[in-house]
Amino acid sequence: MIAMENRQTPVLYIVIPCYNEQEVLPLTAPQFLKKITDLAAAGKISSDSRVLFVNDGSKDRTWAIIHELAASDPHYVGICQSRNRGHQNAVLAGLMEAKDRCDITISIDCDGQDDINAMDGMVDAYRDGCDVVYGVRSKRDTDTFFKRFTAESFYKLLNAMGAEVVFNHADYRLMSARVLQEFARFKEVNLFLRGMVPLVGFKSTCVTYERHERLAGESHYPLSKMLSLAFDGITSLSIKPIRFITGFGVLVALISFIGVLWAVVEAALGMTVSGWASMTSIICFVSGVQLICLGVIGEYIGKIYMETKRRPRYIISETTPNFTRSKEEDA
């Protein structure tokens, strides 16, 4: 049954993707539970709200810990993916499994870096009429120069390439039930949630917060994954790279045509001189451009190939006993 939105005391599901988080989960889980309890005590959310953990095929004791948490308090629930599918698919799985049970969801990582107290402002914004509330970092003083530079360049590049994203926003956000219902109609296999959510529309706002250090364990998003995520976001949401290649190809063709005219004139005047170095440089330059262009085009073709297969974006293999799935089929 689709949840009917209640603006005053909504049912909240906090969706938390987990991958090999056995070290940090026992530390952050009580914080999430306390936040739900405090919000319910203040009359801002319903006491039927839950903390939904999504185990993304962890290889450690993460799923066992989620089971233990669910047995200790009914506010903890969990689902387990059949294999590791990645952070974006894990978040999607939690959102889709929660959308028919609640009025709002808040997705957040379980490492304790995102300030959970920002949830108060998110819920307040929802009660004031917003359907999407983005958690945005207010500053990056704790980051190294390299981390700050690459992260900010990441958002600027995405926007420049046509992927509409909120600056300094990752996947910490509130979404209402009706937004989730519309978002469920987006059937892409190649997921980039921070670029897809703005496409749904509805009234939105931002809540700023300061990001903390990870409480325990190691980050699962090194630079290589961030670069891969950026490239996926650009190619999934924009065709500007293809247009850039077209424009660049026209420019190279124009320069080449001018070069041909120059060579013909030089030959007609008998002023030609054999030049191995210049010829090799031209061949290498053009070959390099061609390979880069083919690589970008190939990336788009690969995404088309994956989309046509229509494979499920997540498969749930198990749930905690206190969480009965509301859908028979996986997304």
- Give the C-alpha separation, 329 to 331, whole Å: 7
pLDDT over 80 at 173, yes or no = yes
Q: Which domain holds residue 271?
A: 240-309
pLDDT over 50 at 2, yes or no = no
- Give the C-alpha separation, 96 to 313, whole Å: 11
Domain count of the fold of the chain: 2
Higher pLDDT, 222 or 93: 93
Regarding whether 143 and 34 lie in a shared domain, the answer is yes
pLDDT over 50 at 243, yes or no = yes
Regarding whether 292 and 198 lie in a shared domain, the answer is no
φ, ψ dihedrals at 106, nearest 5°: -130, 115
Per-residue pLDDT of 193-229, as tens digits, reads 887 888 888 999 998 888 766 555 565 555 566 666 6
φ, ψ dihedrals at 270, nearest 5°: 70, 30
Regarding whether 124 and 176 lie in a shared domain, the answer is yes
Per-residue pLDDT of 271-327, as tens digits, reads 655 665 566 657 666 766 776 777 777 777 776 766 676 778 888 889 999 887 655
Regarding whether 315 and 299 lie in a shared domain, the answer is no
Q: How many CB atoms lie within 10 A of CB 56?
A: 26
**pTM metric for this prediction:** 0.73
User: Sorting pLDDT into bands at 50, 70 and 90, what band is 268?
Assistant: low
Regarding whether 198 and 77 lie in a shared domain, the answer is yes
- Give the C-alpha separation, 234 to 248, whole Å: 18
6, part of any domain: no
290, part of any domain: yes
Residue type, 108: I
Q: How many CB atoms lie within 10 A of CB 17?
A: 27
